[in-house]
């Protein structure tokens, strides 16, 4: 008989405590305007009954739900789970809950997730848009009555603030770094090219190569280990084999790395490797892999902070707010110099 009872309500508590519902309500909400004696008494009854205020009722009274929604491609992806962790921490600090849904980069699933979150009346949303260009997404966001922040990828042509790393600059810097090392034929392995971030990184690579008067060579065929092996083998046996590889995403970096190991191509002696995006064991593998590191947690944190800033700003909405609603926050990336690009002596 311990479980499965209807949860107690204010009036039940009130009756049990011999007071009015108002008093109970006051006790829950800080206990102002209640005599210390009644306060303690009621509190005791509340504890005894295991009473918890029903959020739904509060919400119905027009209050915030104290929930925010996060729509990301995948929860298991380290990048987004770190984002989520950071966002959750901020939410917690703001007395809110984080609801996470995975879109798997499918625009349709994404819209559905958003609709459900909206119908749950989340106070705000953080979204990593599956497709930055989607009209349907823009429409939906436009008519939304809660603030939205985009992460990792912006929403095209919209008023949605975005928090992302400077993919262009990071990639340009990475490419320039390889150029500075003296490599002459630097190819770029993109992986899938549908994502905004990848496009930006491609731009960055091109920019650096052009500025150096070197020909840009992009290979978009790498999707798994097999395709990586094929691509790299083709290059090596081709007329003008590269001496450095710049990979635009985690998995591509790892595939390339494994292929080079497999083919016994010395890194970086015969082939340098530099990847976009850090990953856990990049420093443990031999040789350790140099990467462009994104401020992952910061992206999640800043996005959530921005969101709550808007949320709280709206509350005290007497004046048109300090008009500081940034359209776009671009966070700097860092080059982590390890061995694979030729920076650290292969020894350590």
Partner DNA sequence: CTGTTAGCGCATTCAC
Partner DNA sequence: GTGAATGCGCTAACAG
Q: Which of 276, 272, 271 is nearest to 252 (CA)?
A: 276
Closer by beta carbon to DNA, 41 or else 199: 41
Sign of CA pseudo-dihedral 273, 84, 100, 313: negative
Q: Which of 183, 172, 173 is nearest to 244 (CA)?
A: 183
Q: Which stretch binds its own copies (CB under 8 A): 19-27, 78-86, 167-175, 328-336?
A: 78-86
Q: Which stretch binds its own copies (CB under 8 A): 31-39, 191-199, 266-274, 281-289?
A: 281-289
Supply the minimum distance, in Å, between the C-beta of residue 187 and its own copies. 21
Binds 20: which of DNA, its own copies, none (CB < 5-8 Å by kind): DNA
Query: Which helix (DSSP H) or strand (DSSP E) does residue 220 occupy?
Result: none
Supply the minimum distance, in Å, between the C-beta of residue 126 and DNA. 24
Supply the minimum distance, in Å, between the C-beta of residue 117 and its own copies. 7
Asked whether the beta carbons of 97 and 66 are under 8 A apart, the reply is yes
Q: Give first-to-last CA distance, the chain, whole Å.
A: 64
Closer by beta carbon to DNA, 34 or else 163: 34
Please give the Cα distance from 103 to 165 (Å, whole number).
Answer: 21
Asked whether the beta carbons of 129 and 114 are under 8 A apart, the reply is no
Supply the minimum distance, in Å, between the C-beta of residue 209 and its own copies. 29
Q: Under 8 Å CB-to-CB from 324, ≥6 apart: which residues?
A: none
Q: Does 93 bind its own copies (CB under 8 A)?
A: no
Report which DSSP code applies to 51. Answer: -
Q: Which of 303, 273, 283, 291 is nearest to 333 (CA)?
A: 291
Supply the minimum distance, in Å, between the C-beta of residue 13 and DNA. 7
Supply the minimum distance, in Å, between the C-beta of residue 38 and DNA. 4
Asked whether the beta carbons of 223 and 194 are under 8 A apart, the reply is no
Q: Does 60 bind its own copies (CB under 8 A)?
A: yes
Binders of its own copies among residues 146 to 205 (CB under 8 A) are none
Closer by beta carbon to its own copies, 31 or else 53: 53
φ/ψ region of 170 (left if φ > 0, alpha if ψ in -120 to 50, else beta) reads alpha
Binding site for DNA (CB under 7 A): 6, 9-11, 18-23, 25-26, 28-29, 33-35, 37-39, 51, 53-54, 57-58, 60-63
Alpha helix positions (H), the chain: 10-17, 21-28, 36-49, 55-60, 78-93, 107-119, 135-142, 167-180, 196-211, 225-237, 250-262, 296-315
Binds 314: which of its own copies, DNA, none (CB < 5-8 Å by kind): its own copies
Binds 71: which of DNA, its own copies, none (CB < 5-8 Å by kind): none
Binders of its own copies among residues 126 to 155 (CB under 8 A) are 142-145
* Binding stretches for its own copies (CB under 8 A): 2-7, 50, 52-57, 59-60, 65-67, 74-76, 78, 81-82, 84-85, 88-89, 92, 97-102, 115-121, 142-145, 254, 257-258, 261, 279-281, 284-286, 314
């Amino acid at each position: 008989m311990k479980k499965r009872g209807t949860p107690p309500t204010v009036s039940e508590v009130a009756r049990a405590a011999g007071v009015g519902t108002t008093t109970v309500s006051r006790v829950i909400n800080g206990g102002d305007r209640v005599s210390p004696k009644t306060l303690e008494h009621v509190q005791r009854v509340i504890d005894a009954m295991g009473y918890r205020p029903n959020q739904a009722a509060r919400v119905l009274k027009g209050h915030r739900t104290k929930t925010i929604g996060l729509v990301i491609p995948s929860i298991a992806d380290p990048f987004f789970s770190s984002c989520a962790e950071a966002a959750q921490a901020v939410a917690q600090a703001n007395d809110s809950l984080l609801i996470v849904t995975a879109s798997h980069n499918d625009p349709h699933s994404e819209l559905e997730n958003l609709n459900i979150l909206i119908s749950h009346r989340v106070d705000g949303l953080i979204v990593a848009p599956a497709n930055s260009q989607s009209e349907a997404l823009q429409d939906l966001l436009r008519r939304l009555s809660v603030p939205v922040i985009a992460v990792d990828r912006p929403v095209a042509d919209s008023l949605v603030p975005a928090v992302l790393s400077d993919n262009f600059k990071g990639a340009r810097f990475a490419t320039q770094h390889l150029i500075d090392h003296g490599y002459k034929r630097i190819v770029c392995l993109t992986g899938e090219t549908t994502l905004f971030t990848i496009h930006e990184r491609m731009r960055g690579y091109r920019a650096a190569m052009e500025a150096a008067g070197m020909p840009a060579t992009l290979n978009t065929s790498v999707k798994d280990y097999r395709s990586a092996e094929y691509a790299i083998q083709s290059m090596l046996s081709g007329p003008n084999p590269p001496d450095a590889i710049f990979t635009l995403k985690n998995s591509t970096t790892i595939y390339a790395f494994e292929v080079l190991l497999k083919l016994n191509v010395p890194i970086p002696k015969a082939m340098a490797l530099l990847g976009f995006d850090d990953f856990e064991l990049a420093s443990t593998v031999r040789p350790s892999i140099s990467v462009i590191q994104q401020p992952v947690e910061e992206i999640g944190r800043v996005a959530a902070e921005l969101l709550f800033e808007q949320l709280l700003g709206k509350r005290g909405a007497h004046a048109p707010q300090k008009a500081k609603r940034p359209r776009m926050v671009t966070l700097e990336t860092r080059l982590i110099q390890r061995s694979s690009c030729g920076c650290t002596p292969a020894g350590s």
